[in-house]
């Protein structure tokens, strides 16, 4: 706590409260590698509220700044990926262990057409540690864990060249709120599958301590979005359409400029069809927690 008050006393002007002062959320990131645990729980409910299924996905991810400069590129390496569906035993996904991809800070679709540098091909034909081939919808959810990691950390990525255009570079004081540059953007997730944001807003909500670091809390509200997921299952073309809304609190270390924690809640209303036949309508509740951990605890 002494360190927190020391930080406030260093950056506050004479007579200025740390609640009303300006903060710099944009500076250079530290060059140290980062270590993250990510947990995602997906609960599917029928339209009468009955719980139908529970899926749990866990990711251990190491982030290494390129050439020890974290301002632009970093390499993201999956150290372990596990999943559990309902009461079945937990399994790992061997093909993802040690797999790395590159991601440019603040980027969405890269010059190769990849969302956050995550390729579709890596998630096709996946098998679990028992040798079972995963259904396409499960492979989609696994890919979305990696996409979700970037989605709910890159909100804390500034773009100094876009000041005044909807990024955290425009958040100076606690209580400041912006319409994010991703508002209304439609993104292709897989072939035939898209996600469209609502009016995404980001608010500088306050200050806290996460992983021992004094952090700015950035509150994200997606507004009402929509999505389409299309895939083949047992020779049938299956399509899921729905509306979505998510809320996130992202904790940005004021010193290192790395995300230390992200807590996310997503609520989806979905309808799944094949041809003219409705297979299911459901409510999907997804909670995601991303935590930075010391290397010794990784």
pLDDT at 160: 56
CA 176 to chain CA mean position, Å? 22
Burial 217-243 (b: 16+ CB within 10 A, else e): bbbbbbbebbbbbebeeeeeebbbebe
Burial 5-37 (b: 16+ CB within 10 A, else e): eeebeeeeeeeeeeeeeebebbeebeeebbbbb
User: Which among 154, 176, 150 is positioned nearest to 24, based on CA atoms?
Assistant: 176
Spatial contact of 268 and 283, defined as CB atoms under 8 Å apart: yes
Spatial contact of 278 and 272, defined as CB atoms under 8 Å apart: yes
pLDDT at 10: 43
pLDDT at 229: 84
Spatial contact of 172 and 183, defined as CB atoms under 8 Å apart: no
pLDDT at 236: 78
pTM of the full predicted structure?
Answer: 0.86
pLDDT at 3: 44
pLDDT at 40: 98
DSSP the chain: -HHHHHHHHHHSPTT--TTTS-----SPPP-S-EEEEEEEEEEEEETTS-EEEEEEEEEEEEEEEGGG-TTSEEEEEEEEEEEEETTSPPEE-GGGTT-EEEEETT-SB-TTS-BTTB-GGGGSS-B-TTSPBPPHHHHHHHHHHHHHHHHHHHTT---GGGTTSSSGGG--STT-EEE-TTTT-EEEEETTEEEE----EEEEEEEEEETTEEEEEEEEE--SEEEEEEEEETTEEEEEEEEEEEEEEEEEETTT--EEEEEEEEEEEEEEEETTEEEEEEEEEEEEEEEE--GGG-
pLDDT at 9: 40
Spatial contact of 279 and 236, defined as CB atoms under 8 Å apart: no
List the chain pLDDT tens, one digit each, 298 residues. 434 444 444 444 554 676 779 999 988 888 899 999 999 999 999 888 899 999 999 999 999 987 654 456 789 999 999 999 999 999 999 999 999 998 766 556 666 667 788 988 999 999 999 999 999 889 989 999 999 999 999 899 876 555 556 788 899 999 999 999 889 888 776 667 888 989 999 999 999 999 899 999 999 999 999 989 887 767 778 888 999 999 999 999 999 999 999 999 999 999 999 888 888 899 999 999 999 999 999 9
pLDDT at 71: 54
């Amino acid at each position: 706590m002494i360190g927190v008050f020391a930080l406030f006393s260093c950056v506050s002007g004479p007579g200025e409260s740390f609640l009303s002062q300006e903060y710099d959320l944009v500076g250079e990131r530290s060059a140290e590698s980062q270590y993250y645990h990510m947990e995602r729980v997906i609960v599917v409910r029928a339209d009468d509220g009955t719980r139908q299924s529970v899926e749990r996905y866990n990711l251990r991810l190491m982030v290494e700044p390129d050439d020890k400069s974290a301002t632009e590129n970093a390499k993201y390496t999956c150290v372990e990926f596990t999943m559990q569906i309902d009461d079945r035993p937990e399994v790992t996904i061997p093909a993802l262990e040690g797999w790395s991809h590159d991601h440019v800070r603040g980027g969405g679709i890269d010059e190769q057409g990849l969302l956050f540098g995550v390729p579709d091909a890596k998630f096709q034909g996946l098998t679990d540690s028992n040798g079972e081939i995963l259904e396409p919808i499960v492979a989609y959810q696994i890919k979305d864990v990696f996409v979700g990691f970037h989605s709910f950390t890159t909100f804390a990525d500034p773009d100094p060249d876009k000041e005044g255009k909807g990024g955290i570079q425009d958040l100076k004081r606690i209580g400041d709120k912006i319409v994010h540059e991703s508002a209304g953007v439609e993104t292709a997730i897989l072939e035939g599958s898209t996600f469209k944001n609502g009016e995404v807003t980001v608010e500088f909500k306050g200050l806290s301590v996460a992983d021992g670091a004094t952090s700015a809390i950035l509150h994200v509200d997606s507004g009402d979005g929509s999505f389409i997921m299309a895939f083949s299952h047992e020779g049938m073309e299956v399509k899921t359409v729905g509306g979505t809304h998510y809320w996130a609190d992202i904790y940005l270390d004021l010193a290192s400029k790395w995300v230390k924690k992200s807590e996310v809640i997503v609520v989806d209303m979905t309808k799944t069809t094949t041809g003219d036949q409705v297979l299911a309508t459901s409510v999907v509740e997804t909670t995601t927690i991303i935590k930075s951990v010391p290397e010794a605890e990784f």
